[in-house]
Structure 1
């Protein structure tokens, strides 16, 4: 009775279905989406609520305000309309009944938030972003129903501490038409007091004169309460002034009666000279009376012009932070054809990487099964050649299918990389179930012929080519999360190439992986080294069950990193229940019917009771520690990576070593437990005061994907040493102590 053909056929169908389900599963548990409860959305970092203020009801000519009130967790912040050195402003998209028109956000005065040498403009604690709503003369109040209006809002915001997380929420509010809606009157009154007052008329306002790389600002008409006081300055137009400029050091201010002047540096990233600059001036020390005016807005006319600076003047650290923070909103650029030299290098790298992929630990179970397969053919040279060609076709076509899916999803805007399918807990659980089934079959618990008609049981004998083809599919499925030397750079080039060139690289990768078996099938001397078929093959077959079970242990551990101990425990319980069900189907007669029925009912109950734990997201221990505000105690402790954190450390003059890793990457775990814990390596890190950041890609993370793309990589592991003023140093996929210490010696 054949076991391999049917098991691999089942796997092929299951793997395709699991890959198709990945997009939906990962989107369902996207960390940026809050949990909506109508007018309130909560995330681990903020509580956002849609509120309204209509003191006289809703009608033409009557005041109506809507607003998004954001309450931040300690140390987290969101951004003003000009976020400063990095970040994104909060955006509100309204869906209102006919006759209502929402205006722009009436932004409260921000404050400056400094991270290293960077500075942002934003809000901490609690802030209300109010929006005036105009009620048109043609507005018709509802005559029936409960007399309410359906107000809907879609909001997006970027919330940051050191790391930044894009979040969004859908809000709904039932607004009464008649009667006062004054529950939040105090919040809207305070928000109005927090907005700058306009300086208009009677010579009030400002003028800006351009002098080389600096601006001379003059503002007249400020009230008596502001005169003689130090002021903070915020430009509503981004990239004109330097947000991180320090008062008294980088820019100066002075009073002459009611005239305030300032000498300001131009931003290196400024664009063309505008006709005017909207500016906000605020008291450094806000009055004790929270309702007292403390900020004023002026639109200063500009005299003179400055030379627009090229975008290349942005510092590499800041550019990386901006790119990562805005990765989700940036549209994908159309790939350009790679030069012939680059394409050839990528093809050769893919071929070598695929060849070395056979040496990766995650591929060892397939290597053993293929040895058994070649031995089964004995001296039948034709069967060996056909098996080698079919196996090669299965590997190459599987790489092309996986590469095509990856490129298609990236073209649709998904931030993905190599090994993306194992970022979904659902796919990991399905693979664990499949490998458990294959392991039980190899161990001799059952034969597939017991469950299928006899005609299907002879498929392998009648179609050995199909069996070899599906074994190639299985090999790619197991090897897909691995990255071998040469492979990372080739895949990095591939994802930025046109589809035809990129798929050629994936085909070269598959050809390299299948090359040893193709050579063995074509060269008789290689096959001659293998032992002749005999009784040893039954023992060898059962022994190969244990690498399969070891693979299941690894997959359960991977799921534990994604869904926590509850998810791993639930998966183990389901695997035990499934194994018992398979055993029951090997019984005969009435016993089989009774026991199998009980186990089917029990498995269904178990899936309903704990199945959701398998795909339930859980924050990593590093993220939990970061959210709790805990700092690593050991000098060589790893911290969670973020583009802002890396940029801030580099801007402060500190070298940074980044480990781009994932729980499902076996090579990553090998390096983590060997080279990266070596005492000499850790001592060198400490001596040179290198900050250690770990970018965990176990679950999908667009910021990490964007950072890998900038480095010319599409999968993990990737190890990068950053030093201020130097180009990043990308180390090899399989780390050695000597390589890391040599890189550190250049600091």
Structure 2
């Protein structure tokens, strides 16, 4: 009898161990809400959901969660003077299609001054959570899979485009909340702007424009109020002087264009003296300023301002002059200097002047083409940035190879001959006028994205202005780049200071 009891006890223990092992194995294969953070380089990116499981036809919030490295920032839906907002694309293997995803719920941004008073961006640092609604397909079963490619521009002193492939698996059958993620998503949904319960008008008969906000009870007189536009109708870095009335407030906005078509759309952010910030979405109709919405002047929230076109053009000329000292331009200018030395040695002043004029023509034509391209891109996409092409790998590789070959040639590693006026291009290898012209083209190509002193302010302030202003500033920048060699060409005394050709070349 004793042996029977022992054997039964051992049998029950073995059966219990087998059952627990089977249960653990079963649970390992049961679908559950799974997501994994991905290191994009300077941000840790993750896809999270407010639920652990879902039912067919459910609508819930999921969110793109980004933890940024210290000192780095990303952008709002309108990046301001420069930048690009984050976006997502559905990848292959996802059981959720684009039509089941809603738009981002954008939290209110803060100001990102790039150049004080000249270039202003809007965005976020430290952490950003972008919620968006997801509708589960009505025929979903088992589990649903969401695979997204997050594409974003992240900036510190420089800007770097990054991508991260993130995914989320949600089991179908139940609607269990995810307490941690649901709480976090709820906090960030609450940071989105509310609908404005008053009225908004924009008066554009004269500059500055007047944005009039009327609401019952008005605003706190010690509050700071700033308007963040959805587009680029106003100057982003400019001051927005504020005055209060018994029924609301009025902001003075510096226009970027001479006229406004339709409504002025964006958000106003009201910050009270205790630091609390609340945003309101507005669509301001054109009309007269409301009565009792102005009168008591308040200290502006940000001090900036625009510059006249003449001032911006002068800054661009000075910045273009400074470009001649930039490392990215020096190799090309060495070639130009050699061409001028050969022209001077010929003893024909007309040939020297011809070199200077053709070089200047190449620079100016290239800057005009660049300005036209930026204007076209801006019209098509709403924003355009100088030098963004140098964040394209193949472009950087080609220019790096050209500069490397020029460097080896200047070091005497190989001989290209005295008629060479450029490298990497058969047109630029011609002597005389054509060589000078295409040397100017290459100088513009490698020099334009080099933002030095004076240029950052001028280009940042002009990129959202009318097309004519953009063209004038870019031509001024090119004229500054070509000016030293144009002066050398037309002042005989300076030309005689150039060294004679010899073995040093």
| Residue 75 to residue 729, structure 1, CA distance change in 2 (3 Å) | farther
- Pick from 16, 34, 59: which aligns with 2:56? 59
State the shift of 1:257 in Å. Answer: 2.4
2:267 aligns with: 280
Local SS of the residue matching 1:180: coil
| Residue 63 to residue 645, structure 1, CA distance change in 2 (3 Å) | farther
Cα distance in structure 1, aligned partners of 2:337 and 2:195: 62
Cα distance in structure 2, aligned partners of 1:165 and 1:284: 31
The alignment status of 1:162 with 2:143, answered yes or no, reads: no
2:66 aligns with: 70
| Residue 239 to residue 181, structure 1, CA distance change in 2 (3 Å) | same
Local SS of the residue matching 1:186: helix
Cα distance in structure 1, aligned partners of 2:264 and 2:127: 29
The alignment status of 1:299 with 2:299, answered yes or no, reads: no
- Pick from 82, 87, 103: which aligns with 1:86? 82
Cα distance in structure 1, aligned partners of 2:191 and 2:48: 17
State the shift of 1:80 in Å. Answer: 0.7
1:503 aligns with: 426
Aligned 8 A contact 2:212 2:250 in 1: yes
Counterparts of 1:168-187 in structure 2, within 5 Å, are 168-178=163-173, 179-182=175-178, 183-187=180-184
State the shift of 1:55 in Å. Answer: 6.8
2:245 aligns with: 256
Deviations 1:443-492 (A, max 9, x none): xxxxxxxxxxxxxxxxxxxxxxxxxxxxxxxx99x9899999996x745x
Cα distance in structure 2, aligned partners of 1:481 and 1:140: 69
State the shift of 1:149 in Å. Answer: 1.6
Deviations 1:373-424 (A, max 9, x none): xxxxxxxxxxxxxxxxxxxxxxxxxxxxxxxxxxxxx99964443552898x
Counterparts of 1:313-324 in structure 2, within 5 Å, are 315=312
TM-score calculated relative to the size of structure 2: 0.53
Cα distance in structure 2, aligned partners of 1:47 and 1:484: 53
State the shift of 1:46 in Å. Answer: 1.9
Cα distance in structure 1, aligned partners of 2:45 and 2:448: 24
Cα distance in structure 1, aligned partners of 2:139 and 2:157: 48
Local SS of the residue matching 2:189: helix
Q: How many residues align?
A: 336
Deviations 1:513-557 (A, max 9, x none): xxxxxxxxxxxxxxxxxxxxxxxxxxxxxxxxxxxxxxxxxxxxx
Deviations 1:26-85 (A, max 9, x none): xxxxxxxxxxx974332452222222223772432x332222212222221111111112
Counterparts of 1:87-486 in structure 2, within 5 Å, are 87-95=83-91, 96-97=94-95, 101-117=100-116, 118-135=119-136, 139-142=138-141, 147-178=142-173, 179-182=175-178, 183-200=180-197, 204-221=198-215, 226-246=219-239, 251-267=240-256, 270=257, 273-285=260-272, 294-303=278-287, 315=312, 414-420=395-401
Cα distance in structure 1, aligned partners of 2:53 and 2:414: 62
Local SS of the residue matching 2:183: helix
Cα distance in structure 2, aligned partners of 1:108 and 1:711: 36
Deviations 1:275-325 (A, max 9, x none): 112221112348677xxx722111111249xxxxxxx999579999xxxxx
Aligned 8 A contact 1:235 1:241 in 2: no
The alignment status of 1:727 with 2:477, answered yes or no, reads: no
Cα distance in structure 1, aligned partners of 2:480 and 2:241: 35
Local SS of the residue matching 1:185: helix
State the shift of 1:349 in Å. Answer: 6.9
Local SS of the residue matching 1:208: strand
Structure 1 unaligned segments of length 5 or more: list them.
1-36, 305-311, 321-345, 356-409, 429-474, 495-501, 513-640, 653-709, 713-722, 733-738, 743-747
Deviations 1:345-376 (A, max 9, x none): x9x979969x9xxxxxxxxxxxxxxxxxxxxx
Cα distance in structure 1, aligned partners of 2:156 and 2:453: 13
Aligned 8 A contact 2:74 2:86 in 1: yes
Structure showing the higher strand proportion among its residues: 2
Cα distance in structure 1, aligned partners of 2:481 and 2:268: 40
Aligned 8 A contact 2:111 2:122 in 1: yes
Deviations 1:108-156 (A, max 9, x none): 10000113322211101111111222345xx2112xxxx3222111122
Local SS of the residue matching 1:184: helix
Aligned 8 A contact 1:56 1:180 in 2: yes
Aligned 8 A contact 1:40 1:48 in 2: yes
Cα distance in structure 1, aligned partners of 2:284 and 2:128: 27
Local SS of the residue matching 1:97: coil
Cα distance in structure 2, aligned partners of 1:152 and 1:191: 22
Cα distance in structure 2, aligned partners of 1:244 and 1:481: 51
State the shift of 1:160 in Å. Answer: 1.4
Aligned 8 A contact 1:199 1:222 in 2: no
Cα distance in structure 1, aligned partners of 2:206 and 2:168: 52
Deviations 1:702-745 (A, max 9, x none): xxxxxxxx999xxxxxxxxxx9999247989xxxxxx9xx9xxx
| Residue 127 to residue 419, structure 1, CA distance change in 2 (3 Å) | closer
State the shift of 1:176 in Å. Answer: 2.6
State the shift of 1:193 in Å. Answer: 1.4
Cα distance in structure 2, aligned partners of 1:231 and 1:215: 18
State the shift of 1:199 in Å. Answer: 1.8
State the shift of 1:207 in Å. Answer: 0.9
Aligned 8 A contact 1:58 1:64 in 2: no
Deviations 1:200-241 (A, max 9, x none): 5xxx231111122221111123677x5334233233333212
Cα distance in structure 2, aligned partners of 1:482 and 1:76: 46
TM-score calculated relative to the size of structure 1: 0.38
Aligned 8 A contact 2:215 2:248 in 1: yes
| Residue 351 to residue 728, structure 1, CA distance change in 2 (3 Å) | closer
Structure showing the higher helix proportion among its residues: 1
Local SS of the residue matching 2:83: coil
